[in-house]
Amino acid sequence: MFPTEPPFLRIQFYLTAPYPCSYLEGREARSQVAAPAHLIGQAAYGRLIQEGFRRSGHYTYRPHCHGCRQCVPVRVEVGKFRPNRSQKRNFRDNQSLTAVILPMEFRDEHYRMYRRYQHARHTNGGMDHDDSEQYTQFLLSSLVDTSLVEFRDGEKLVMVAVVDRVEDGLSAVYTFFDPGMEKHGLGTYAVLWQIELARSLGLSYVYLGYWIKESRKMAYKSGYKPLQGLIEGRWTEIA
């Protein structure tokens, strides 16, 4: 239930036209979008995250597909999270990495790695041809409390994560890494690092976006236990 005090009263919601689903072949998707963007400040954004919304640049949305409820918003309960053996090994093996939180500014080194990542992991997915302006709008444009986290192994840039802070947790917006280091499990390490950051800040959750059981790209999120999903308007443990 959304609050009824300003500025929430002035936020409106609209549905996009159908578009091809990025995760389930042959399906059409639609999104419910919160607007106008300039009214979605820190407090409103935190409530929207709790209601299953996500952010892409200034665009705050959640899936709203006719006859399909495959996209389940999920979050890790930080206080109860216990890494499994593989996750413990991953965290230990990547301790040589240093993480630095940077201002939300364009860096050509980051952009070049983003392009390599998109070409290697998401060929013909649309974002593999993003120019610098599209990259900036997607990852560096924010009206809320956002951090740009750079991970290096010595002098070498290996990963970048964009992370939002909300009232009760962190929201993992997007992570990309050097595709030549895929065997190092950097995507897993980014999630584990954010869980530990949330713990150090006294925050309860790390929001991981959408879990889609039938999508191999998204199914990995069930590996972070206990995982809560937003089901019929209530956060419920699902894994």
What pLDDT digit, counting tens, does each position of 192-216 carry? 999 999 999 999 999 999 999 888 7
Largest CA distance in the chain: 50
* CA distances (Å), origin 131, targets 13, 84, 111, 126, 127: 29, 39, 9, 11, 9
Q: Check residue 1 and give its pLDDT.
A: 47
Locate the domains of the chain by residue range. Answer: 8-71, 84-202
2 pLDDT more than 80: no
What pLDDT is attached to residue 4?
A: 52
Angle subtended at Cα 78 by Cα 77 and Cα 84, rounded to the nearest 5 degrees: 90
Distance CA 127, CA 20 (A): 15
Write down how long the chain is.
Answer: 239
Structure tokens at 237: 């443990």
What are the tens digits of pLDDT across the range 129-147?
A: 689 999 999 999 999 999 9
Q: Are strands 28-29 and 169-177 parallel, antiparallel or unpaired?
A: unpaired
Cα–Cα distance measured from residue 40 to residue 213, given in angstroms and rounded to the nearest whole number: 30
**Would the pLDDT of 63 be above 90?**
yes
- Locate tokens 């840039």: which residue? 157
Report d(CA 32, CA 42) in Å as an integer: 19
Task: Provide the pLDDT for residue 106.
Answer: 97
- On whether the CB atoms of residues 97 and 158 are closer than 8 A, the answer is yes
What is the percent of the chain with per-residue pLDDT over 90, rounded to a whole number?
A: 82
With a cut of 90, say whether residue 179 has pLDDT above it. yes
Which percentage of the chain shows pLDDT scores above 70? 93
Total-model pTM = 0.92
How many C-beta atoms lie closer than 10 Å to residue 102's C-beta?
12
Torsion, Cα 96 116 100 206, to 10 degrees, reads: -90
Place of tokens 């665009």: 59
| Four-residue CA torsion sign, 152, 153, 155, 156 | negative
Q: What is the dihedral of CA 156, 142, 78, 178, to 10 degrees?
A: -20
Q: Average pLDDT for residues 110-132, to the nearest whole number?
A: 81
Query: What is the tens place of the pLDDT at every residue in 149-172?
Result: 999 999 999 999 999 999 999 999
What is the CATH code for 84-202?
Answer: 3.40.630.30
- Cα torsion 184, 210, 203, 4 to 10°: value is 160
Q: Does the pLDDT value for residue 95 go beyond 60?
A: yes
Q: What local confidence, expressed as pLDDT, does residue 6 receive? A: 53
| pLDDT top residue among 24 and 171 | 171
pLDDT value at position 239? 81
Say if residue 119's pLDDT is above 60.
Answer: yes
